[in-house]
Every structure is written in structure tokens, then in C-alpha cells.
Amino acid sequence: MRVWLVLIFLVGSLWAKGEFTEKRYIYALDKTTIFKGSILITDDSTIVRYTSPEKKVLTQTGKTLIIEDVEAKTSQTIDLSKRIDMSLYFSFMRSINKKDFTGLKTYFEVNKDGNTYHLSPKSDVKRAIAKMEITMQNDEMKRMVIYFTNEDIIEIETL
């Protein structure tokens, strides 16, 4: 049966104004890719800049997301009002950025163990995500791991 609610994660965007590395393991391809970049979150928009291995800029403002390929000089616009999955992503991103788990609690059971938050998905999110772990250091996000139900794993660390 087709999963109606497919989550899309714009990984690497979990840190406001900071640089990050993202290790993305894709089970279907049995490959791991490492990305580097930075993120800036303001009141009105979110800008993610990937610097390696490719240069891409993702700008979200209101209901619009623009994905810009800096080298190819092309861009793609996505209407977020038609993408519940993407809206959810921004919800998670802002929540983690603000270190506020109220929004996440709508979709996850949140348990804290030392410096690590363990997030168990509920409702439709369960179909895409198996679990999440977020580790804090000095009240800042240090590491986050997302385990997907399709066995993909994304691990992000701040620099």
C-alpha cells in the first residue's frame, strides 16, 4: 500500500546560523554521501547553503521553497502549501532550532536521557521515520540521527 504521507527531510538544516556536516546513508543504493553547508533561520525565512560536494541554496519564505543550483544556474520553485511533508519538515527544523519540543510533541513521543532526546514517531510520521535522536551540548544541538523505516540513516553534526 502506498504511503500517503511521504516525509521529505531537508537534512542539514537543523542548525540556525551554524555550519554542519551531514552523513546520509541511502539503503537502496547502499551508499553514504557526506555534505557540508550552513543554515540561517530568520523570522520570515530559512536559507540552507550546501557547499560540498555541490553548491546549492534552498530558500524557504512563507509557502514557497526555491532550490537553486549555483553551478548550473538553475532553480526550481516548490509550492509548500501543496506539500504537507515539506511543511512538517519546517516545523521540525524550527522546533529544533528554538530548542522547543512542543511542536515535535505533536508528531513524536519525546523522552530525555541525559543530554540526548529520544523521539519515537506517532501517527502518520511512523510510516516514514523509525526514530530520532538529538544530542545537546552546552544547550546547543551537537548531533542528530534520523533512522528511516526504509533503513536510510541521516546523521548530522555541528562543526
Partner 1 sequence: MKLKHFERLRFLLVALVFIAIGITLFVKYPLQSDISKALPEDKTTGILSLYNQFDSSKKLLVLVEGFTPQSLEKANTIKEKLSQLSQVESVYFGTSDIDPKVRDYLAKNWYYLSDFNATVLSRDEVKHRLMALSAKMLEGGAYTPLDTTDPLGLFENPSFMQGAQKDGMMIVPNKGYCVIASIRPSVGDMEGSRKLYDEVNTALAPYKEGIVVFSPNFYSVENSAYIQSDVEKITALTIVMLLGVYFFLLRNKVMLVFSLSTLFLSGLMAILAVKLIFVDVSMLVVAFGAGIATIAEDYLFMLFLNDDYKKHRFNWAVFWGFVATEVGLGSLTFIDFPLISQLALFAFISLALSYLIFAFIFPRLAFYHEDTPQKSDLFFEKLRNFRRIPPSVFTVLSLLLVALSMSHLTFDSNFRHLDYQNRPLLKAEKLFEETLGEDRIPILIEAKNREELLKRAEILKEHAPSSYSLANMALSGAKSTQRLAQIRSYDFASLRQNLEETSVEAGFRNGIFKNAYLPLQELSSYTLDTGALRVLGSEILTTPKGVMSLAYIKTDELKALASYPFLIPIDAKEILSHSATNALKEFTTIFAIGFSLLLIIIIAVTRRRALYALNFLFFPMSIILVMFAISGSFNLMHLFALFLMMVYGIDYGIYLSRGEISNSMRAVIYSCLTTFAGFGILILSDVPAVHSIGEVTIVGIIAIMMLFFQKGEQCRV
Residues of the shown chain interacting with partner 1 in the complex, contacts defined by CB under 8 A = 1-12, 24, 26-31, 33, 35, 37, 50, 53-54, 56, 58, 67, 81-82, 84, 86-88, 90-91, 94-95, 98, 100, 102-103, 105-107, 122-125, 128, 148, 150, 152, 154
Look up residue 155 and give its three cell numbers.
546523521
What Å distances lie between residue 146 and 33, 117, 122, 129, 136, CA to CA? 15, 12, 15, 7, 15
Shortest Å distance, C-beta 8 to partner 1:
5
Question: How many alpha carbons lie under 13 Å from residue 57 in its C-beta half-sphere?
Answer: 12
Measured distance CA(154)–CA(158) in Å, rounded: 13
The residue type of 39 is I
CB-nearer residue toward partner 1: 27 or 115 = 27
> In whole angstroms, how close is the CB of 94 to partner 1 at the nearest point?
6
Q: How far is the CB of 122 from partner 1 (least distance, A)?
A: 7
